[in-house]
Amino acid sequence: MDNAHGQHSRQSPRDPSSGYVPAREVGADDAAVLLAEALESLITVWGRAQEAFGTTVSPTQLRALTIISRTPGISLHGLAQEMGTVSSVASRLCDRMDSAGLMHRELDSDNRRRVVLGLTSEGEALMAAIRERRARDLVTALSAMSGTDRAALVTGILAFRQATGHGQAENGGAHRASGSPPTSTSRRLA
């Protein structure tokens, strides 16, 4: 027992240089800690790409642009749902992105009450540049890992996606169904 905290002492899974080697199975709590720390690193990489272009697009706007880019013809209501907010908040967010020339809104030709969102050429260029920078940064980081560690990472990521219900949701599901990961960095990374 650790007298200071009343908990069992155990080797920390947080620092691979400490000699920690995962047992055959890792508990969900330890895995969650490691995943949260890894995601913080990934968020840093993601943010660097946005900063590299000196854009004034906020992280929330970038998230909205990413959703619009991935979902052609998404409605304002659909964007609000994807972002976990209400339509009025999504509308104000779109006002700012529209004013910046990054996206446009138009009425759906089949349903005049539905507002459809799309990226402008400037918005598409920004997203392409950010995705390219993110891909380069990820390749740099992944290149520093051994092939075995990269394979383990891909296996873990695919299992995590499956556990969260996203395993077959996007294009490229055939790669995942066959057990082989996508091989191109040209996939959308934003």
Residue with the larger pLDDT of the pair 136 and 168: 136
Q: Is the pLDDT of residue 143 over 80?
A: yes
Average pLDDT over residues 53-74: 87
H/E segment holding residue 103: strand 103-107
Tens of pLDDT along 27-40?
888 888 888 888 88
Which residue segments constitute the domains of the chain, with CATH numbers given? 59-125 (1.10.10.10)
Q: What is the pLDDT of residue 35?
A: 87
Tens of pLDDT along 99-139?
999 999 998 888 888 889 999 999 999 999 989 998 998 99
Distance linking the first and last C-alpha atoms of the chain = 44
Q: What is the pLDDT of residue 42?
A: 85
How does DSSP classify residue 96? H
Q: Is the pLDDT of residue 16 over 80?
A: no
Of 128, 120, 129, 117, nearest to 72 by C-alpha is 117
Residue 76: pLDDT band by 50, 70, 90 thresholds? Answer: very high
Give helix 28-52 / helix 121-143 axis angle, nearest 10°.
130
Return the SS3 of 58: coil
Q: What is the pLDDT of residue 150?
A: 92
Q: What is the pLDDT of residue 1?
A: 42
CA atoms within 13 A on the CB side of 96: 13
Neighbours of 76 (CB within 10 A): 18
